[in-house]
Chain A
Amino acid sequence: MMTYADTATNPILKDLYSRDPHLLKVVINADSGAARGLRDGDPVWVESRFARAEGVVGLTQGIHPETAAVSGGFGRWTRHPLAQEKGISQNAHLAMDIAHTGMLGGSMETVGKVKIYRVDIPPGSNRKSAEPVL
């Protein structure tokens, strides 16, 4: 069902990915999410040293407890009526240089550290109450 960057713009695939429990979400381990009071569908900020984006939590058991993941191919910077504002992009949070670029596919072959905040406590406004939850 995934067709890399074209998934988001395909109208019939949209019928599937908009119903998928994880594809448009910030995927977090179910146990570590529950320990921090996060539920499925909670809006969160994902903040790295490069960017900040708003996403929605999707809980699953199939991911390491200290890892957050987003699906590739979404969060595209586009005016396409289907693809805009769908999911979040991982590229904004990764170090963009030639050393971290896959020489075969041209994609970012790296990971980045992020902090995840609940969206009801905006980061920056009051740092004391805005402790990252993950």
Chain B
Amino acid sequence: MARLGMVFDLKRCIGCNACVIACKMENMLPEGVFFTRVFVEEIGSFPDVRRVYIPTLCNHCEDAPCQKACPSGATYTRDDGVVMVDQHKCIGCSACAVACPYDNRTQLTKEDLDSSYIGEGEQAAFEGSRYERWLSGTVTKCDFCSRRVDEGLEPACVASCPTDARIFGDLDDPHSAPGKLMRERNGRPPLPEKNTRPKVFYVD
């Protein structure tokens, strides 16, 4: 069985945030809710200065702390390694959001789903229709765009990346694109001291 994962090539990321926008459009997330984020860090001082962009998303850990913390069994791991949330089992206790060391889980409140991007006034048609996917009160997170992956597509953030800084595929296969990158450039997991065994790696 495949072990789906992602490798970030930090040398390629230009911090354009196209992945963040594509993720918001694909999942139709309310304002202020992000499944993927790009952190920016400035290194050095003028004139010898550069910016480093660090994209993040749910790491789909193999020892997922969120799954261990979930009391209702709403968080589960698919056979291909994608950590999922069954919203109909989620009781909204937020234990997973507290347990996640990467801060990648968000509880959707009713205010979030009733809000409009424009501010005051009615929701646009596309907002209301797409928010029906979410149940208010439940905790959500990135699911590697599992609906797209099941159809044989790449996750939205990978498909939209203009510099191919996000490489998605089977980590167990040494000949797949992420497997090759991991082997050649020694991918490193985020926060290895947390012992969560992430399936998202960084190469630089």
Contact = CB atoms under 8 A, between A and B. Distances in A.
A13 B21 CA distance: 7
Contacts, number: 44
B193 to A, nearest CB: 27
A13 B17 CA distance: 10
The bracket for how many chain B residues form the interface is 20 to 34
Contacts of B20: 16
Given A31-B46, A62-B46, A62-B49, A82 B21 contact: no
Interface string B92-119: 0000000000000000000000000111
Contact of A60 (B18, B42, B117, B120): B42
Contact of A81 (B44, B51, B118): B118
B149 interface: no
Across chains A and B, which 5 residue pairs bring their CB atoms closest together, nearest first?
A11-B117, A61-B49, A1-B17, A61-B45, A61-B46
29 contacts: A1-B18, A11-B117, A11-B118, A12-B21, A12-B25, A12-B117, A13-B21, A15-B24, A15-B31, A15-B32, A15-B117, A16-B21, A21-B40, A29-B46, A30-B46, A31-B45, A31-B46, A61-B42, A61-B45, A61-B46, A61-B49, A62-B42, A62-B46, A62-B51, A65-B46, A81-B119, A81-B120, A82-B118, A82-B119
